[in-house]
Structure formats: structure tokens, C-alpha cells
Structure 1
Amino acid sequence: MENKMIVEIWSDVVCPYCYIGKRKLEKALSQFEDSRQVNVVWKSYILDPTMPDDYDKSTYEQIASKYGTTVEEAKATHRKLEEAAKAVGLDYDFDKVKPANTMKAHQLIHFAKANGKQDEAEETLFRTYFTEGKNINNVDTLAEICSSLGLNKEEFLSALAKETYHDDVRADIYEAKQVGVQGVPFFVFNRKYAVRGGQEPAVFLEVLQKSFSEWRKDNPLPNLEIIEGQVCTPDGKCD
């Protein structure tokens, strides 16, 4: 397996800044010439583990109750979040968003990781929650996401029933405490540099360049002794 620098992201699917931060990191990676040498790994973090499965209030009611504000104040705050999302090409619709416990969603992310589809699962869950307004704690919704990703939904449902990935989620949360995560998104580059929050792409790019430069020193490219012979080059010359 090709050796790559690891970027770890602690995130929760219901965190609006996590999706925004994902887009900003992606933009930085698109500008980073060694992006193919970077492997992004998503880590689970649950912002509200006490959220009941049958929660039926709106996002505005949830926030107003939690922080002692009015529903109108909560709506105003979320309009600003919608604008921040729009600035990076995302379409948030908090009028439709359904607050949800994310333990099952995180188990889906780990199931997808085991099948090589972690980033795709993360993206789809974000979109399902913030744009489509579906309940990501609903088993049928998660099964649909599995199918859309080309994953075996029956295998996922079996894993969910057996809590196969429950300990993996808990391990990520425990690890978050060890590395100092107190909020998400939280980005760790090469286990040496950390960025908290959805920073601008320029910030991510700077950290990528610095961390990769140091990583490359510890993981140098092969120094091959080349025996010359006749070759064809990309400019069309053969000699």
C-alpha cells in the first residue's frame, strides 16, 4: 500500500461548520500539488449523545431551549449559517432539518470506511441532513444511503443490529479527548499540527504544505540508480 500523509478530521454529521470545513479543506487540497499523497480519515464525534431517538422538535426549538434564546433568535442565527454555507457552494435548509442522535450515522461511516467509501458516506450524510432534511437516525434512511453508495445495505443493517462498529465510534470519541478535541470540526495533520474550526482554504493550504514537507523528510521518495535506454517522452519524442 502506498505510504501517504494522514489528515484526521473529528466531525459530527449534524455540525454545520463540519460540512463547511470539509469544503474548505477540499479547496485547499485542490490547490496542493501533492494532494495524491494525502489520505483523509474521518473520526467520529457526537455533539449531543443524550439526544433521544424520538426527538420531534425543530432545530430552532432545540437551539432556543438549549441556549435560553427565542425561536426567532435561533432562526436569525441559522440564516447566517445558511449564508456561510452558500459561500462555499452548499445549500443548507434549516427549515427542513430534523435534529437527530448521530450514533447510528457514525456506525454507517465506519461501515463505509471498512468498504472503502468513508468520504462518500460522510458527504452523503451531510447532504441528507442539511440539504434534504431527512432523519439520519432513521434506519431506512441509512439503508437508502448505503444503497446509493453501492454498499450492501443488508450487511450494514446486520452490523447495526449487532453494534459491530459501536466500539469504533466510542474509540474515536475517546481518542478525541486524548488529542485535545473540545469542539468540531478538528483537523489533525500528520499527528503534529491541529486546526480547530472551518478555517479558510489558505490556512489549510499553509498547514498542508508545512506538515507535508516534514512528512516527506521522514518518508523520502526512492533514490533510484537509473540505467538509461531508449524511451518515449510525453512531448512525443522517441529516441
Structure 2
Amino acid sequence: MKVSIWSDIRCPFCYIGKRKFEAALANFPHKDKITVEWKSFELDPYLETQPEVDYTEYFMENKNVDRDTALGMFDRVSKMASEVGLHFNVEQGVIANSLNAHRLLYYSKTEDLADKTKETLLKAQLEQGKNIDDASVLLDLAVQVGLNKEKVAALLASDEYTYEVRQDELEARNLGISGVPFFVLDHKFGISGAQPTEVFAEALEKAWKNYTNEKLTLLTVDKAGESCDVDGNCN
């Protein structure tokens, strides 16, 4: 059974949601029969990479909030991350367009290294404060996960896989997905946001039952989980 996950490397709740889903999957009796597919979603395709700009100042201006409010928001998401074993460093984040990182992720699928690459990219952006739009940074990360250095260098010097990234985003729009993370189980069950692990566990059970019975059902969640939308609002 396939689980497709739309997310952006810049999205803090995508990393948190990844951890919560993984926790549910780890205890799922049929986990060896689950295939996870990472789908691309850019929260701001037109974002200009600005590594020289202070992230807190950028966030304050972009969200029209004062410093105390911004730091309070950073603290909130960092506490949520710590609950699932992550160590966010939001204030040291780099303002970086994520397209090239998504292209690298797409290439990693051809080498069966997508999950490892996704994890490494999220960590680089949200914990390590690296510039995920810098070719040298991406090349180092690629080598770190076991990708071929020469092939990745050629990829980054081209526009390869840009079309595939845009197709993922088109598919998301066609499905009505406007925020990430968004999980689609067995092409039928939609889960929005970084839901509690228990919700993912229940969703896996219901989707699996439907998958094995070959029946169409609808899974609904009463409350939306934490997510980031296309306007860059994370809540």
C-alpha cells in the first residue's frame, strides 16, 4: 500500500509530521508492505534566497509581528519539535528557495535514497541552519547520503526534475491540497497536518483494511493538524 506525502523542506511541521507518522508506521503490523512516496510542494516558489538576511528580522517583516511575538512562535514550534526528538534552530534559519532541494530529492528516488535524502534536507534546513539553495551545500548533503557526486553536480547545473516537481504541485492543487504536510494513504485517505501519532496509526489501520478489502471509504479527521499553507503561515 502506498502512502504519498506532500511536504516542503522549509516547513517545520513537515519534519514534525514526518516523525509522528514514522512512529505510527513503526508499530504498524504490516509496515513491510507500506511504500512511502515523497511528493514536492513549495510553500513559496518565488521566494528569493537571501542567506545574508537575519531570519528573525525577515520573519517579523513577513508576518508583520514584533520580535517578542516572533520569538514566542519560534519557541512554540521548537517545543513541539523537541517532543518528537527534534532540535530546531529556527532563529538561525536561512531564507532559501527549496526548488533545487526538491530536484535533488527527486533524483534520490532513482537511487532508492529518497527517505534518507528527505531526512537529511529537513535536518539541514531546520536544525543546522544550512542554505538548501546553495549548490555546494546540496552537493555535500548528497554525498553524505550516498548519492553520486558527479551526477548530482550535473543535476544542479541543469533544470532536470523541475518538471517533475511542478507536476507534484499540480497534482496537489488538483486534489485540493493547500497546506503541508499532507498524507494520502492508498490514493483514497487524506490526512492534513502534523497529526498526533495515534491519528496516523488509526488512519493506517483503516486504509489497510480498505486496501485489503478493495472497498472505497472516506476517512475524516475532526480537527486539522499543524501545517504550513501556501501563504507561508504555519500554525
TM-score by length of 2: 0.88
1:179 matched to 2:175? The reply is: yes
SS at match of 2:180: coil
Asked whether the 8 Å contact 2:142–2:148 carries over to 1, the reply is: yes
User: What displacement does 1:217 show?
Assistant: 2.2
In the alignment, which residue of structure 1 is the partner of 2:93? Answer: 97
User: What displacement does 1:128 show?
Assistant: 0.8
1:190 matched to 2:186? The reply is: yes
SS at match of 1:53: coil
* Offset from partner CA, 1:29-81 (integer Å, 9 cap, x none): 01110011110100000011121134532332222112211133111100111
User: What displacement does 1:130 show?
Assistant: 1.1
TM-score by length of 1: 0.87
Asked whether the 8 Å contact 2:5–2:39 carries over to 1, the reply is: yes
Runs of 4+ residues over 6 Å off in structure 1: none
- Highest Rg: 1 or 2? 1
- In structure 2, what residue type is equivalent to 1:136? I
In the alignment, which residue of structure 2 is the partner of 1:66? Answer: 62
* Offset from partner CA, 1:115-171 (integer Å, 9 cap, x none): 110000000001111111111111001000111111112101212222111101100
Gaps of 5+ in 1: 220-239
Task: Kindly report which structure 2 residues correspond to 1:73-152, keeping only aligned pairs within 5 A, or say none.
Answer: 73-152=69-148
RMSD across aligned positions (CA): 1.3
User: What displacement does 1:101 show?
Assistant: 0.3
In the alignment, which residue of structure 2 is the partner of 1:203? Answer: 199
**Length, aligned pairs only:** 215
In the alignment, which residue of structure 2 is the partner of 1:215? Answer: 211
Separation in 1 of the partners of 2:149 and 2:197? 35
* Offset from partner CA, 1:83-124 (integer Å, 9 cap, x none): 000000000011321121000000010010111100000000
Gaps of 5+ in 2: 216-235
